[in-house]
Structure 1
Amino acid sequence: MTELVDWIHIRPGETPSRTDHAFLLTGWGAGQIPAELITPQVSALLHIGGSVHGLLPEGAWRPDLIVVSARTANAVPVAEYALACVIMAAKRATQFAHRLRTGDDYWSPAVRSNAGLYGSRIGIVGLSATGRHLLSLMQHFDVSISVYDPTISEEEIACAGAEPRDLDELIRWCDILSLHAPSVPVTRGMINAARLAALRDGASVINTARGDLIDTEAIASECSSGRLFAYLDVTEPEPLPPDSALPTLESCFVTPHIAGAMGHDIHRMTTFILEELRRVIATGSTPHAISHSQQTLLA
């Protein structure tokens, strides 16, 4: 335990409050932790990943067990990727790239006249850690931003720098819709055929959250017609079947779930979790702890 305390740099003046406790560190792909490993001596589970949903057996959750993940650290690259998609969507990047490849007239006034980020209306669904970070990044741009999130107050949304709207109003209002909600029963399929049809012609849909938030057949139909554009880092199913038209469409940009931390960004998550471990050892608590009831909402 002394070596671990030294390794994570307990700061001068801090006295470790947990010197006789065990800690579990897990990462992506760990699977469900066997219940027998969650002994009374285990004070905290620290997950170098995003969601902790399903990581612990139901009977293993204890009031005194601290559970924390690196989801806020993982939210940074996801939000950055979503921002890149917002800019690409505003620039009609997929349409220009497709026309360049096929030899079509990419300087067509019909394409150019609708391109550009200035004055765009950005709709964010879900003020999660990722949604909040995207919102903060978007404050630097000359755009209007509205948020739908039924789990927080309109005052909190306004304080974060956006205008609150209900979902259907947001969809009718926005030029670019970016999804950052969890996959729970009430959100699955929330962006259905009717709501996609309510988006204005030429609008873009960005999904870096969960694939099942969107009706796949409906978005494929809208993109096939050329009426909507889509930037999809997650899909339902994932991966898409080989015969799916989505990756081949001029109006669609599909990537294989790459928005989250990988490569260099993994170091941010590791640093975050080691800091959380230091905090738990030194103080016995952390403001980033996840409760049993929160695990699905933060998935």
Structure 2
Amino acid sequence: MLLALDDDIFDAFLTPEALGRLAGQARVARAGAQDWTGHPDLAEARVVVTGWGSARLDPEVFARAPRLTALVHTAGTVKAVLDPSAWHRPGFVVSSQVEANAAPVAAHTAALVVLALRGTLGLRERYRRDRRDLFTRRGWVTDPSRGLAGRSVGILSASRIGREVIELLRPHPVQVLLYDPYVSPAEAEALGVTWVASLTELAERSDVFSIHAPWLPETEGMVDAEVLAALHDDATVVNTARGAIVDEAALVAELVTGRLNAVLDVTWPEPPADDSPLWDLDNVFLTPHVAGSLGSELAVMGGQAVDEVLRLLAGKALRHEVDPRSFAQQA
């Protein structure tokens, strides 16, 4: 098997303990993320393990890898590393550790939704600016627009992460609304959320509007000026999905007026342009795409990928196999 991860991330994903579990199971060759497609052992490789920045497995590479039967991705989406033509090879399987990556994204998002509802993020900026004046006035304590009780959180898309956020919000006294054109009212009820019929209605009824749709051609720019205009004053847009799902020019136009707030882990372009107002607005909480796995969480994905490789070698079914029938609709 080829381990096609660059040196700067290799040890974080594939720890000595994880690699030790591969010892004696197969001949392992290490290759760079970009140069694995030209590795001298490619023709003999049965499995390639990829990660962030790995070169794409396309028809040309397939032609040079006649024995390749599996791609195991240590990260989430495989679209950057896998050409759809791969599904035409009989018996070829793909594993993605998207579920392991979903947990930290959901935890990050749910925490920020709670902080946004309580007004904590904006208070931090005001406290830094006003200092003692803010502390002594304390009018924000009785402000009915702060707090969790009786507030509403709109979830755009019952994706894997969207569903995990719903679960994490369940203990809190908030109403969770859901818009997803593929989810019926009955399915929404089973999830314990309130179904809404349109994206605009979701915006109208949300104190916090949290985006969890995949970035696809049909979702690009779906949170447009009309949707943003439907949000009530002082509502917060939370985006930990992909920046391109939002019409960023329309969002910035709302934000510079101070009418809305935003918690943005992703933007489009990413990072924002040097002169983007997003850098300096007090009503924007901007982070550099950190909601996904980081630090110690990377080893969880790498360890899960090794588990998948061991299943393949033992002739067992993958636990995290990518379904080619839904590949086009996946993030």
What TM-score comes out, normalization by structure 1 length? 0.87
Pair 1:116 & 2:147 matched: yes
Q: 1:280 aligns with which of 312, 315, 322?
A: 312
Pair 1:176 & 2:208 matched: yes
**How much does 1:93 deviate?**
2.3
After TM superposition, the structure 1 = structure 2 runs for residues 148-163 of structure 1, keeping only pairs within 5 Å, are: 148-163=179-194
Pair 1:206 & 2:243 matched: no
d(CA) in 1 for partners of 2:187 and 2:311?
Answer: 28
Q: Which moved more, 1:63-72 or 1:148-157?
A: 148-157
Q: 2:115 aligns with which of 74, 80, 88?
A: 88
Q: Aligned AA for 1:163?
A: T
Q: Which moved more, 1:53-62 or 1:92-101?
A: 53-62
Give 1:294's aligned residue: 326
For the 8 Å contact 1:220–1:245, the answer to whether it is kept is: yes
Q: Deviations over 1:188-244 (max 9, x none)?
A: 111111111101111111000000111112111212212111000000111101111
**How much does 1:97 deviate?**
1.7
**How much does 1:49 deviate?**
0.9
Give 2:52's aligned residue: 28
d(CA) in 2 for partners of 1:231 and 1:6?
Answer: 41
Give 1:141's aligned residue: 172
**How much does 1:100 deviate?**
1.6
Give 2:77's aligned residue: 51
Give 2:37's aligned residue: none
**How much does 1:245 deviate?**
0.8
For the 8 Å contact 1:122–1:178, the answer to whether it is kept is: yes
- Residues 148 and 287 (structure 1 numbering): CA distance in 2 closer, same or farther, change over 3 Å? farther
d(CA) in 1 for partners of 2:184 and 2:315?
Answer: 31
> The residue matched to 2:56 in structure 1 has which SS?
coil
**How much does 1:296 deviate?**
3.8
Higher relative contact order (CA 8 A, sep 6+): 1
How many residue pairs match? The answer is 288
> The residue matched to 2:320 in structure 1 has which SS?
coil
d(CA) in 2 for partners of 1:161 and 1:282?
Answer: 40
Pair 1:266 & 2:266 matched: no
For the 8 Å contact 1:22–1:42, the answer to whether it is kept is: yes
> The residue matched to 1:28 in structure 2 has which SS?
coil
> The residue matched to 1:295 in structure 2 has which SS?
helix
d(CA) in 2 for partners of 1:141 and 1:189?
Answer: 31
- Residues 5 and 198 (structure 1 numbering): CA distance in 2 closer, same or farther, change over 3 Å? closer
d(CA) in 2 for partners of 1:150 and 1:71?
Answer: 22
- Residues 35 and 198 (structure 1 numbering): CA distance in 2 closer, same or farther, change over 3 Å? same
**How much does 1:32 deviate?**
0.9
- Residues 221 and 163 (structure 1 numbering): CA distance in 2 closer, same or farther, change over 3 Å? same
> The residue matched to 2:70 in structure 1 has which SS?
strand
Give 1:192's aligned residue: 224
Give 1:251's aligned residue: 283
Q: Which runs of structure 1 show a deviation greater than 6 angstroms over 4 or more consecutive aligned residues? A: none
- Residues 188 and 36 (structure 1 numbering): CA distance in 2 closer, same or farther, change over 3 Å? closer
Pair 1:78 & 2:105 matched: yes
d(CA) in 2 for partners of 1:61 and 1:203?
Answer: 44
Q: Aligned AA for 1:135?
A: I
Q: 1:68 aligns with which of 92, 95, 114?
A: 95
Pair 1:101 & 2:128 matched: yes
**How much does 1:45 deviate?**
0.9
Query: What RMSD, in angstroms, separates the aligned Cα atoms of the two structures?
Result: 2.6
Give 2:68's aligned residue: 42
After TM superposition, the structure 1 = structure 2 runs for residues 120-135 of structure 1, keeping only pairs within 5 Å, are: 120-135=151-166
Q: Which moved more, 1:87-96 or 1:238-247?
A: 87-96
**How much does 1:253 deviate?**
0.5
For the 8 Å contact 2:69–2:93, the answer to whether it is kept is: yes
> The residue matched to 1:95 in structure 2 has which SS?
helix
Q: Aligned AA for 2:121?
A: T
- Residues 151 and 119 (structure 1 numbering): CA distance in 2 closer, same or farther, change over 3 Å? same
